[in-house]
Amino acid sequence: MAKDKAEVVTKKTASSDRKARDSQHEALQEMSDEDLMSQFQAGTVEAFNILVDRYSDRLMQYLYRFLGDMKRCEDLLQETFLRVHRNRHSYRRIAKFSTWLYTIAGNLARSEYRKRKRRRMQSIQSVNRDNEEYEMEIPDESFSPDKHAESTIQDHYIQEAMNEIPPAFREVVVLRDIQQLAYDEIAEITGLPMGTVKSRINRGRTKLQALLEDVYPFQDES
């Protein structure tokens, strides 16, 4: 009899604990990003997990549109959240969490782009007919979105067009038109003046439109 009572108490306690956890999880889900960061800074790991769930897809889309290399973007996504975890106590609520997060991801993406550009532009010491050395540019063939089953034909062409425009234009277009961020947030993320942000977005859009019109001739119809 005593054993049965103990089992009943144990089950009630477990049920009560489960309800408490569910209630806490629901409360955390309702919190703003900034409140979740405060909770995480106070030691609530689940708050960090919720932030990861909220932003993983959006950040992956941002990194992928910027760099066009899914595998490398997965690594950068992990590195972004690792830095959020490691530097959580440096975050201050005076900044939007999304701005702080995209700044970290953007710095990583720009650094990766510079590394890839240096690798692309490394010289192959070749010899021409006059025995003179000349530089031969190494093409970057890392982008192949058709290898990803989830990529649609439209996505393939859009990404190829993205890769054709300068990275300075590409980043701000992605942040504005795909990530739907405000101009002032983009300026803070990139460290650029507002006028430069707007100018680059307009120029990037113009270049993209021209590239996509070549791919979709029907867009010329009026």
- pLDDT per position as a tens digit, 51-99: 999 999 999 999 998 888 888 899 999 999 999 999 999 999 888 999 9
Residue ending a domain, among 100, 124, 142, is 142
Between CA 145 and CA 148, with CA 81 as vertex, the angle to 5 degrees is: 15
The answer to the question of residue 13 being in a domain is no
Q: Which of 142, 176, 191 is the last residue of a domain?
A: 142
Band of the pLDDT at 146, cuts 50, 70, 90? Answer: very low
Q: How far apart are CA 128 and CA 135, in angstroms?
A: 10
Q: Are residues 184 and 109 in the same domain?
A: no
pLDDT at 82: 96
Burial label for 124, CB within 10 Å (0-12, 13-18, 19+), is: exposed
CATH of the domain at 103: 1.10.1740.10
Same domain, 49 and 91: yes
On whether both 117 and 209 belong to a single domain, the answer is no
Q: State which H helix or E strand residue 198 sits in.
A: helix 194-215
Q: Indicate whether this model's pTM tops 0.75.
A: no
Does residue 7 sit within a domain? no
Domain of 172 in residue numbering reads as 144-215
Is the Cα torsion angle 105, 106, 111, 116 positive or negative in sign?
positive
Q: Is the same domain home to 87 and 190?
A: no
The reply to whether 148 and 201 lie within a common domain is yes
**pLDDT: which is higher, 18 or 70:** 70
152 and 198 assigned to the same domain? yes
Note whether residue 96 is domain-resident.
yes
| Element at 126 (helix H, strand E) | strand 126-127
Using pLDDT thresholds of 50, 70 and 90, give the confidence band for residue 127: very low
Question: How far does Cα 171 stand from its chain's mean position?
Answer: 11
Could you tell me if 150 and 135 lie in one domain? no
Cα 190 from Cα 179, distance rounded (Å) = 14
101 and 44 in a single domain? The answer is: yes
Q: Is 149 domain-assigned? A: yes
Clarify whether residues 131 and 192 are in a common domain: no
Residue 70 within a domain: yes
Residue 131 lies in a domain: yes
Cα separation of 92 and 49, whole Å?
A: 19
Q: Give the pLDDT score at 99.
A: 93
Give the total number of structural domains in the chain: 2
Q: Please give the Cα distance from 98 to 195 (Å, whole number).
A: 22
**Mean of pLDDT over the chain:** 77
Domain boundary among the residues 108, 142, 176 is at: 142
Which of 52 and 115 is assigned the larger pLDDT?
A: 52
